[in-house]
Chains A and B, each alone.
Chain A
Amino acid sequence: MASTILLDIGFMAMLVVVAFAIVRLRSLFAIVMLQGVYSLVSAAWFVSLDAVDVAFTEAAVGAGVSTVLMLAAMLLADRESRPVPLGRQIGPLLIVVFAGLAMFYAVGDMPAYGDAHSPANSYVGHDYLDRTAEEIHIPNVVTAVLASYRGYDTFGEAVVVFAAGLGVLLLLGLNGNAGRWRAKPNGVRVSKQAAPAARKRPLPADAPQPMSAPAATIMTTRAKKPAAKKKKGGSS
């Protein structure tokens, strides 16, 4: 017991150190890497707390996939974060101090670590533990709760994941071609250019300017339209 508490304190100390390092750093690449480290350390901490399923998810999602996604997003944006002037740091600092004090105030109401009679362990938790063995016949109660007893919640989660993917696809396109689709109102191309980030290489310097040519075509079609209508009216 005492050794695992030492382990827990060690992990939490590492988390605090990594968090301070993330706040102090300016290089976004290092920050993304440290976020992966943070996830890995918290996964190890979850294992020491016997929450193996959560640790699994944290290691796979936090340290694995989200690091790659953050890197990909960083490459689209910027490599360095600009320093924030001191005057704009006071407000966030106040909020953080206030929220931290509120959390310390709430600590007194939390159940003791490993308390068998805590609210989380006493009502439906007991039911799930007792009834899984006779109703579902699988050893892992977490899976039984996740997929069967709380099937609605998991369905909602799956739909949320789907919606997130759908949103990214609608915004960016699966092949990075969201900006390459060209609208053709009245058979006239509005834009000859792809979205800037979708291009593999920057255009040569002598290429036509992005806005001038389409703007000209729009102007000419607008000018032509009333004339065409007049002709029609005249003939009929």
Chain B
Amino acid sequence: MTPHVILRIIAKFLIPLIALFAFYVQFHGDFGPGGGFQAGVILAASVILYALIFGLEAAKEAIPPSWVRIGMSLGVLLYGGTGVVTWMLGGEFLNYSVLIDGYPAKGQHYGIIAVELGVLLAVASVMLAIFYAFGSRQPDLSEEDW
């Protein structure tokens, strides 16, 4: 009989919803409150909840640390790369209006989406990386230790 049955069941139900909400916050950021930072933290929180309930090893199997390491650099690269692309297209660094020729407002949309994706990747990965780094260094606690 595994302990914390109620916690496990509720978490199983909540974790997908939290991850889904993170993506809603990400892609609805143009219309409502939210954006890459908040979505990244919420996405990381769903994985952290999984790790708290089912153990750090299970979380590391679901989201391997190597992905986390790649993700944090890829996020910053995506943000900076968008700037470099606009640079190549003849605009200033991070001036998205040049992304689509003749439609500056559309270019702004695409630029903002790319940049927010970069922020999402970087923030979610860094939060997970810090959690993995701290969480991996302690021995598993027994119930009485708390």
Interface positions, chain A 131-181, Cβ under 8 Å from B, are 135-140, 142-144, 146-148, 151-152, 154-155, 157-159, 161-162, 164-166, 168-169, 171-177
Q: Closest CB-CB distance, B73 to chain A, in whole Å? A: 7
Given A151-B115, A161-B126, A172-B134, residue A138 in contact with residue B30 (CB < 8 A): yes
Bound-state Cα–Cα, A177 to B132, Å: 11
Q: Closest CB-CB distance, A42 to chain B, in whole Å? A: 15
Does A213 make an interface contact (CB < 8 A)?
no
Interface positions, chain A 97-151, Cβ under 8 Å from B, are 135-140, 142-144, 146-148, 151
Asked whether, in the complex, the Cβ of A174 is within 8 Å of the Cβ of B105, the reply is: no
Chain A, residues 199-229, CB within 8 Å of chain B (1/0): the string is: 1110000000000000000000000000000
Interface class of chain B by DSSP: helix
CB-CB under 8 A from A174, the residues of chain B are 65, 68-69, 129, 132-133, 136
Instruction: For A73, give the chain B residue with the smallest CB separation.
Output: B134
Instruction: For B30, give the chain A residue with the smallest CB separation.
Output: A138
Asked whether, in the complex, the Cβ of B30 is within 8 Å of the Cβ of A140, the reply is: yes
Asked whether, in the complex, the Cβ of A168 is within 8 Å of the Cβ of B130, the reply is: yes
CB-CB under 8 A from B65, the residues of chain A are 174-175
Interface positions, chain A 45-86, Cβ under 8 Å from B, are 52-53, 55-57, 60-61, 64-65, 68-69, 72-73, 75-76
Instruction: For B31, give the chain A residue with the smallest CB separation.
Output: A139
Asked whether, in the complex, the Cβ of B132 is within 8 Å of the Cβ of A137, the reply is: no
CB-CB under 8 A from B42, the residues of chain A are 60, 64
Bound-state Cα–Cα, A172 to B65, Å: 13
Bound-state Cα–Cα, A171 to B130, Å: 11
Q: How many residues of B contact A (CB 8 A)?
A: 60
Q: Closest CB-CB distance, B122 to chain A, in whole Å? A: 5
- Give the B-binding residues of A (Cβ under 8 A): 29, 52-53, 55-57, 60-61, 64-65, 68-69, 72-73, 75-76, 135-140, 142-144, 146-148, 151-152, 154-155, 157-159, 161-162, 164-166, 168-169, 171-177, 195, 197-201
A-B contact pairs, 26 of them (CB 8 A): A53-B35, A53-B38, A56-B38, A57-B38, A64-B42, A65-B41, A68-B52, A69-B134, A72-B135, A75-B141, A136-B105, A143-B116, A147-B35, A147-B112, A148-B112, A154-B115, A154-B119, A157-B37, A162-B75, A169-B69, A169-B133, A174-B68, A174-B129, A174-B133, A175-B132, A175-B136
